[in-house]
Amino acid sequence: MSLVRAGRLAICLVIPFLATTSLAQVRTADPAQRGLTNADFPRAIKIAANVYTYEDFHAGPERFTTTNMFVVTDEGVLVADGQGSPAETKGLVAAIREVTTNRITTVVICSDHGDHTGGNASFPPGVHYIIHPASKAILDRQAAARADAWKLPASAELVADRTALKLGGEELQILFLGRAHTAGDLAVYLPRQKILFLSEIFLNRVFPAMRSAYPSEWLGALIKAERMDVNIYIAGHGFTEQGPVSTEELHTYRKALEAVITEATRLYRAGVPVDQAVKQANWGEYASWTLASSQGPIAIRKVYEELSGQLK
């Protein structure tokens, strides 16, 4: 275990994987329920010899983590997603510095949302970005509308389906599993370690957040992920879990998404107007998940949009 000074006042812990979770661990995205305090974050978790996750708090009143992955190779470091602000992503860069002097060469933008891209200005200049065309269009639009928004370099590599790259002898696959939480979610797969970073395709014990989602296609992406040869699934929000727990939790998440779509569909078919449906929805066990109260109504509206053919 070693201590790192992160970008903010906090100290970043680099902790071994086994120290983080066990089968007895409470399954929740809520740090307090897992016995963690603010002082435990940000933190980096070593999940394989050269692979780490980095967890820091998402902004907002409800506490939960935004999780990134980084892969260290002789030829450089690949980072999957950043944090939501330049100060927070500085913390991620500092945590990488703690474990290697190799430079950050590649950043995969797996989710175009601000809580994963808002800090990208803190990545070193000259970094090679990889992004889905739909996400590039979103970021370009934001940069055109706001002078202070981070600008994706013109050299960014577009991945519409899949690509494989070699970095220091390590094979890394960048995969589009279909539209899901956004129109351009990318996943990063490490075939040697059988690790799959799913970014916001997988929100571990966080209520399915559908503001820019494609509900039924998202389900399809999760089923594809479940069928892959994977030992450790990494979520973009919520905690990094041990291999077997991560597999269970991905399955649990797919069930949650199914249940949310089923409940919204039931209300739609019963002819309940959307404004009443948001009040009538019964989320069952998922009502206790992080963000359920704010994301429930958004999910109803999105599923209604899809069922009525308004979602293109």
DSSP, residue by residue, 270-297: TT--HHHHHHH---GGGGGSBTHHHHHH
Q: Is 302 one of the binding residues for Zn ion (CB under 5 A)?
A: no
Task: Return the number of the residue (129 or 268) whose C-beta is nearest Zn ion.
Answer: 129
Q: How many residues bind Zn ion (CB under 5 A)?
A: 2
Task: Return the number of the residue (115 or 306) whose C-beta is nearest Zn ion.
Answer: 115
Place of tokens 């998440």: 253
By beta carbon distance, the residue nearest Zn ion is 115
Q: How far is the CB of 167 from Zn ion (least distance, A)?
A: 25
Q: Which of 112, 115, 241, 249 binds Zn ion (CB under 5 A)?
A: 115
Task: Return the number of the residue (46 or 113) whose C-beta is nearest Zn ion.
Answer: 113
Q: Which of 43, 46, 90, 113 binds Zn ion (CB under 5 A)?
A: 113
Q: How far is the CB of 238 from Zn ion (least distance, A)?
A: 11
Task: Return the number of the residue (65 or 73) whose C-beta is nearest Zn ion.
Answer: 65
Task: Return the number of the residue (72 or 221) whose C-beta is nearest Zn ion.
Answer: 221
Q: Is 254 one of the binding residues for Zn ion (CB under 5 A)?
A: no
Which of 87-95, 108-116, 182-190, 275-283 is the region at the interface with Zn ion (rule: CB under 5 A)? 108-116
Q: Is 181 one of the binding residues for Zn ion (CB under 5 A)?
A: no
Binding site for Zn ion (CB under 5 A): 113, 115
